[in-house]
Amino acid sequence: MSERLTHIDGEGTARMVDVGDKRPGERRARARARVRMSPETARAVEAGDAPKGDVLGVARLAGIQAAKQTAGLIPLAHPLPLTFVDVEASVDAGEGLVELLAEARTVDRTGVEMEAMTACAVAALTVYDMVKGLERGVELGEIVLLEKSGGRSGPWRREDG
């Protein structure tokens, strides 16, 4: 089992992976989060008319900030010098959906999947925080890795993404 789970040693103890022997290279990851709400709340988000203000702008900044803090939030994540992070937000008011897309990049020895996914998770939580005065039943849905590139395992892309 420890051969497949890289964060587990031979005795089953959690450990940080040693990436010291890996060669630095360009790494990129994209992730997505979806937040479901009523069409009325989504229209307020889209119009910038929520009680706390610009939901999407604040969520974008929160996601970017979170990506930079990933190693402090995820115990076995390596601290990475990010070369780029961005979060894009879109609203489908008719479906009551806010979609958040995050991209993270680095030139280092390990990937940035956790940074992209952390950006999405915190951006989604921020959307909830910004609209909870309008609706408490907002649902934070799927947070998924869409694609990654770089590293020993090479490129990967979600088939349904």
Q: Which residues are known catalytic residues?
A: 129
Query: What is the DSSP-derived secondary structure letter of residue 82?
Result: E
Asked whether the beta carbons of 70 and 115 are under 8 A apart, the reply is yes
The label of the residue with tokens 């989504």 reads 42
Tokens in use for 79? 């601290």
User: 45 phi and psi, to 5 degrees?
Assistant: -65, -45
With CA atoms as reference, report the closest residue to 136 among 57, 24, 69, 37: 37
Of 95, 106, 103, 111, whose CA–CA distance to 60 is shortest? 103
